[in-house]
């Protein structure tokens, strides 16, 4: 059977994404009010922005927070485990899976939430389906082209969704997520190695060597 992502087995299903997933854009009206001040004891709720969405995962190194009062006002934009959150402006095509550690977080106006019916759609499979290069190309071609590219919720609902049997979806999601974890680990090792190189370079180039490196450069065993 021919589909958006190529030929698939005939016993797989294909339908519109909106039949199996709820799609919701972030709150309109720009950024929420000022976050609570540190040290006041007021609860702070993380607010996911496009910069916090990496390749398949949430990167919360520099996340924004809002007050509990603001979060109550935005309660319809809470995230649950199994949701997929994506970028709908500028950096369209970036998606991340929401885990239990992100439960109750919020997403901002430049993002959208895709909440699958988990009886029919495995969240891990949905994440990797959305990241498929052919699906990304479809999204790019169907984006609104103004000052910046953007995608609206109705377009996402109308996107073709290929659905293998749920056990197959789970297996596909598991394999691809495991590869993502390995890629993230190697990226972190590369980052830390680069930091070490940058720290040592000025010392090595000026002769101010830590003793282990000084002995190594002398050829000591």
What is the reported pLDDT for 166? 96
Topology (CATH level 3) of domain 15-162 = Adenine-n6-DNA-methyltransferase TaqI; Chain A, domain 2 (3.90.220)
What is the reported pLDDT for 77? 96
What is the reported pLDDT for 108? 93
**Residues with pLDDT less than 50, the chain:** 34
**3-state secondary structure string, the chain?**
CEECCEECCCCCEEEEHHHCEEEEECCCCCCCCCCCCCCCCCCEEEEECHHHECCECECCCCCEEEEHHHHHHCHHHECCCCCEEEECECCCCCEEECCHHHCCCEECCCEEEEEECCCCCCHHHHHHHHCCHHHHHHHHHCCEECCCEECCHHHHHCCEEEECCHHHHHHHHHHHHHHHHHHHHHHHHHHHHHHHHHHHHHHHHHCCCCHHHHHHHHCCC
What is the reported pLDDT for 215? 61
What is the reported pLDDT for 66? 93
pLDDT in tens, 132-158: 999 999 988 888 765 566 788 999 999
Indicate the pTM of the whole model: 0.80
Q: Domain ranges in the chain?
A: 15-162
């Amino acid at each position: 059977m021919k589909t958006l992502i190529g030929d698939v087995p005939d016993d797989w299903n294909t339908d519109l994404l909106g039949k199996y997933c709820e799609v919701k854009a972030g709150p309109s009206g720009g950024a929420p009010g000022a976050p609570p001040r540190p040290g006041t004891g007021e609860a702070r709720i993380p607010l996911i922005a496009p910069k916090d969405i990496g390749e398949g995962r949430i990167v919360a190194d520099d996340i924004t927070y809002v007050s509990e009062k603001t979060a109550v006002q935005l309660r319809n934009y809470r995230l649950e485990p199994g949701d997929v959150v994506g970028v709908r402006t500028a950096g369209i095509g970036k998606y991340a899976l929401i885990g239990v550690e992100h439960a109750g977080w919020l997403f901002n106006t430049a993002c959208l939430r895709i909440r699958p019916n988990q009886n029919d759609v495995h969240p891990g499979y949905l994440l990797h389906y959305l990241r498929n290069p052919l699906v990304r190309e479809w999204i790019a071609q169907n984006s609104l082209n103004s000052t910046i590219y953007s995608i609206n919720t109705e377009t996402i609902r109308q996107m073709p969704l290929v659905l293998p049997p749920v056990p197959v979806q789970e297996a596909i999601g598991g394999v691809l997520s495991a590869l993502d974890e390995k890629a993230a680990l190697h990226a972190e090792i590369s980052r830390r190695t680069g930091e070490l190189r940058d720290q040592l370079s000025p010392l090595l180039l000026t002769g101010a060597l830590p003793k282990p490196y000084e002995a190594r450069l002398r050829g000591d065993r």
